[in-house]
């Protein structure tokens, strides 16, 4: 699976079931394009020097949060790490608030005090991202346990990377979640790199779902760039978790187009990240695959897509220009919002 080239996506289930499915496909395609263009804008402005802090971009990986978020409710509890723009945007496409946060403005998701790696928006169920690798995975299990004790059928979600599974807390969290039957979905975005190091140099296997087996969690290992498959399998796992059957594990193999941080591609600075590999993965672009499969199925056209792209470009321009003009937080607010009530 890892080395296969560009693939069409099988849309037959979704097209035949009901007419609303075209609306659904258009929605997920639009979300992916908006997230992609938003992160490309961040790359550009980082390069231009207007963004001061680091930005970890997930361009190439958009299918994962967009597909999973379609199966979540606003009362679910989602946690993430340093590469989390798309995880939040898939729940709330308010790119203005993301731009404002990354520019340190008081109108941002975290009131300008968090920046790119400390995002929060509990109104849509995004409970927070923290750059300490695997730093939120145990919190997700705690939030899942709380949801269970409150007799809700909410779940928690922990987005972690293939590098994060090398942290001990992930294994404690998997074990505890299983033993206590906690409603948590562990999502492993296996982009095959932790900073600059390929997984083949760090782990005895390229597949992390062996840790799901070790803890008896139901799991899927999927092509993370096939949005339909990620949607359908995450739906199954999430339904199973909501029915009080305990945690689930979803491993999604993907690739990030930018390097570890900021806009550079990191070609050949990391072992096993060559121009050729990157080009191969670009042919497996999740956006291209969905859009091309829709066009091939004669339910979509390039013209419709260009119309969407133009609207998004305009939205990005308006949002960025507005965020740039916003104010920084007041100095006297520095000690506020440290503790939550
Ligand atoms: C506990 C800890 N160790 C090391 C780091 C430095 N660091 C930041 S991101 C990263 C790699 C994480 O890789 P992965 O979990 O695969 O996520 P990806 O960057 O690929 O999305 C490392 C080692 C950190 N932030 N926290
Ligand atoms: Mg990784």
Ligand nearest to the CA of 196: 1
Query: Ligand 1: which atom is nearest the Cα of residue 135?
Result: 1
Ligand 1 pocket: which of 39, 61, 163 to mutate (most atoms within 8 A of CB): 163
Bridge partners of 291, per DSSP, are: none
pLDDT < 70 stretches in the chain: 1-8, 12-19, 341
How many other C-beta atoms can be found within 10 angstroms of the C-beta atom of residue 1? 9
How many other C-beta atoms can be found within 10 angstroms of the C-beta atom of residue 261? 16
Nearest CA to ligand 1 atom 8: 133
Q: Give distance in angstroms: CA of 38 to centre of ligand 1.
A: 22
Render pLDDT for 101-144 as a digit per residue (tens, 0 to 9).
999 999 999 999 999 999 999 999 999 999 999 999 999 999 99
Query: Ligand 1: which atom is nearest the Cα of residue 131?
Result: 25
Number of H helices, E strands in the chain: 12, 8
Render pLDDT for 254-287 as a digit per residue (tens, 0 to 9).
999 999 999 999 988 778 899 999 999 999 999 9
| pLDDT at 270 (0 to 100) | 72
Q: What is the dihedral of CA 329, 333, 334, 339, to 10 degrees?
A: -120
Give dist(CA 53, CA 194) in Å, integer.
20
Query: Ligand 1: which atom is nearest the Cα of residue 164?
Result: 15
Give dist(CA 143, CA 312) in Å, integer.
34
DSSP, collapsed to helix, strand or coil, labels residue 60 as: coil
How many other C-beta atoms can be found within 10 angstroms of the C-beta atom of residue 100? 26
User: 334 — phi, psi (to 5°)?
Assistant: -65, -30
Give dist(CA 31, CA 37) in Å, integer.
10
Residues with CB under 6 A from ligand 1: 82-83, 131-133, 161-164, 191, 193-195, 260
Residue whose entry in the numeric block shows the structure tokens 């600075």: 269
> pTM for the whole thing?
0.96
């Amino acid at each position: 699976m890892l080395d296969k080239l560009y693939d069409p996506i099988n849309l037959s289930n979704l097209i035949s079931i009901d007419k609303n499915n075209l609306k659904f496909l258009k929605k997920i395609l639009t979300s992916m394009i908006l997230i992609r263009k938003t992160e490309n804008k961040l790359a550009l402005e980082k390069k231009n020097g207007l963004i001061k802090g680091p930005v970890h971009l997930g361009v190439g990986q958009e299918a994962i949060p967009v597909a999973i978020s379609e199966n979540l409710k606003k009362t679910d509890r989602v946690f993430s790490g340093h590469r989390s723009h798309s995880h939040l945007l898939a729940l709330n496409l308010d790119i203005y608030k993301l731009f404002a946060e990354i520019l340190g403005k008081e109108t941002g998701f975290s009131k300008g005090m968090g920046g790119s790696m400390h995002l929060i928006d509990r109104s849509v169920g995004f409970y927070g991202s923290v750059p300490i690798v695997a730093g939120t995975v145990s919190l997700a299990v705690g939030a899942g346990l709380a949801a269970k004790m409150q007799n809700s059928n909410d779940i928690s979600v922990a987005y972690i990377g293939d590098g994060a599974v090398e942290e001990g807390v992930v294994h404690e969290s998997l074990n505890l979640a299983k033993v206590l039957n906690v409603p948590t979905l562990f999502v492993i975005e296996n982009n095959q790199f932790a900073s600059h190091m390929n997984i083949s140099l760090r782990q005895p296997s390229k597949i992390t779902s062996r840790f799901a087996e070790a803890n008896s969690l139901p799991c899927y290992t999927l092509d993370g760039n096939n949005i339909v498959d990620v949607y359908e399998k995450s739906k199954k796992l999430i339904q199973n978790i909501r029915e009080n059957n305990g945690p689930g594990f979803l491993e999604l193999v993907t690739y990030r187009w930018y390097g570890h941080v900021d806009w550079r591609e990191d070609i050949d600075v990391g072992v096993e990240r060559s121009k050729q590999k990157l080009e191969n993965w670009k042919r497996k672009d999740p956006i291209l695959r969905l859009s091309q499969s829709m066009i091939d199925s004669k339910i979509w056209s390039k013209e419709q897509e260009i119309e969407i792209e133009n609207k998004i470009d305009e939205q990005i321009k308006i949002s960025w220009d507005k965020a740039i003009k916003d104010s920084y937080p007041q100095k006297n607010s520095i000690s506020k919002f440290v503790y939550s009530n």
